[in-house]
Structure 1
């Protein structure tokens, strides 16, 4: 006769094995690599079938649609790995250090301004006393002494004022640098998602006609899988530079992962499509090589979806429409542009 505890233990092992098999099937169906991040994501979905996460995944995959890396990121699971993540962490640490330095400089500036205010008040009192002394005395030597003392105080005040001005200019530059770093992607040196959302809101408020293109590097995951994240990072930088050059005069940003966005202002549909398609062709025509061995990396291509911003749209709403068109471009075989 089998003990009750043994039966329970056997049942637990059976449930665990079943969940393990389900996770494997899920990853295979979604064409996700069996790395720890994706495994944890699948485990969270399948182990809690009634959770909001599981329901969101069911909605996204309805009709046989596969999840993308971006879908997983938006559902709250971080998938960035390798040197790109390290670069981002370093950038955040540097931003924190800059904020601390700026705060210290600001406190020093406040102290300096306070000292200058005290010196100015003292100078005013001394000036009044000296003027009275000059008025009531005819002693030439005393007048010379008082005049020299006043000149010395004036020079000292001017020196303090000059130092304060330099400090203020330095502080202004530090603050501007910190603000710029907060709006810039550290890997590609392009504006980031935050900068895009701010720019979109500003231009919408000005009533500019806007079109948004969402671009995605085709099969980028295979680049990381075959050559590693260091090579993947270099590809991201090269593609970001190429898109920015081909879309010169427009706002180009890295949205996240292998996605870039281009915000076009005051252009019509034909002009926007022509620019974006020219950028796609330029990327497809380039032949990338491995820096270490000079071996060919293989073709790297872009797909893009373009949509127009309408009155009342938020950046998120426009992005979602362009992203759906990007998905259609991927479905059409990639390396193409869809506009709508």
Structure 2
């Protein structure tokens, strides 16, 4: 089976096909009904494959991911609310469960505060009702009794607050872990596509220019076909480690499949290129062997395209430019980096 990158490239190279056929293929791939709204969105994408919209769609669907209704709305399209095909409901995630627990705890805190307030008001009324009697006669027993009651209530409230605070701290840690897991690739332990996109957006909001590199393992499909996916996974982890080691202080992310991205901040394009080329050379000079049989795996290389963002540019434009440079590097022999 061809990789997602190969499939995308075939689609781009078949520009001579009728637009109508490509629109139909787009709708089928993303399981969109052939309604006018969906058709109009698909027409905008396929009629200008080099445009910002098409590049953004390509970035969102890398790795065989289908567009969602939310994706289409974010890209300026409209969706049909009445779908013709039933959607499969997603199972609740761990994060959803933690959010529900947090909501329940907030409600519990509210109930507790109301109860403590009511108990305090009761004590105040009891104390006020006995005030005159306490002034006119020695009511030491009443004072002791009321004081003991209030102390019991205070101690009970403190115990409940301490338990709730401990539970809140545990939930906070779990939520932080869940947020981190949602932005991390489980195979390589690198930040994932979501984390990369969020970091890029943060730089753009701050008005900072960055250098963006798109890296792709050369002939990765051959590795999977010959040695199996478990070996392919090891190769991906090795590439991830090499990029992380060679690019300290910069964001290295697994974007999808055999594709990685590097976000260089605070350095020039020339400096970023030199750093990335060192990583490429480290990977290319290693000789990998199979752990089980000691059989040589052969050289593993990657190609890359790197470019510098311009003020106010959207991710789709910058990513698309780097992706085209990557294609050029592949076409010119692989195991190289093109920049612009």
- Describe the shift of the 1:134–1:154 C-alpha distance in structure 2 as closer, same or farther (beyond 3 A): farther
Q: Which residue of 2 aligns with 1:26?
A: none
For the Cα contact (< 8 Å) 2:214–2:261, is it kept in 1?
yes
Distance 2:181 2:270 in 1: 34
Classify the secondary structure of the residue corresponding to 2:260.
Answer: strand
Deviation for aligned residue 1:151: 1.1
1:257/1:299 CA distance change after superposition, 3 Å: same
Counterpart-to-counterpart distance in 1, 2:306 and 2:59: 23
Contact 1:329–1:337 (Cα < 8 Å) also in 2: yes
Size of the alignment, in residue pairs? Answer: 282
**Structure 2 regions of 5+ residues with no counterpart?**
26-42, 50-56, 67-89
Unaligned runs of 5+ in 1: 1-31, 61-69, 80-91
Q: Residue in 2 aligned with 1:171?
A: 171
Root-mean-square deviation over aligned CA pairs: 3.4
Q: Distance in 2 between matches of 1:276 and 1:75?
A: 22
What is the aligned partner in structure 2 of residue 253 from structure 1?
253
Aligned 8 A contact 2:59 2:316 in 1:
no
Shift of 1:256: 0.8
* TM-score, length of structure 2 as denominator length: 0.73
Q: Quickly say closer, same or farther: Cα 1:49–1:203, change in 2 above 3 A.
A: closer
Higher relative contact order (CA 8 A, sep 6+): 2
Once the two structures are superposed, residues 281-338 of structure 1 have per-residue CA deviations (whole angstroms, 9 ceiling, x without a partner) of 1111222222222322211111111101002211111011001111111122111111
1:96-175 residue pairs with structure 2 within 5 A? Answer: 96-130=93-127, 132-133=129-130, 136-137=133-134, 138-175=138-175
Contact 1:214 1:261 in 2 (8 A): yes
Note the alpha carbon deviations across 1:226-262, whole angstroms, 9 max, x for none. 1111111121122112211211100111111101000
* C-alpha separation in 2, matches of 1:212 and 1:333: 22
Instruction: Give the 3-state SS of the residue equivalent to 2:211 in structure 1.
Output: strand
TM-score normalised according to structure 1 size: 0.73
- For residues 135 and 231 of structure 1, do their structure 2 counterparts lie closer, same or farther at Cα, with a shift above 3 Å needed? farther
- Name which of structure 1's ranges 120-129 and 306-315 shifts more when overlaid on structure 2: 120-129
Please state if 1:197 is matched with 2:197. yes
Q: Give the whole-Å Cα distance in 1 for the aligned partners of 2:198 and 2:120.
A: 48
The 3-state SS of whatever aligns with 1:263 is strand
CA contact (8 A) 2:287 2:296 kept: yes
Moved over 3 A (4+): 45-49, 53-60, 70-79
Quick check: 1:283 aligned with 2:283? Answer: yes
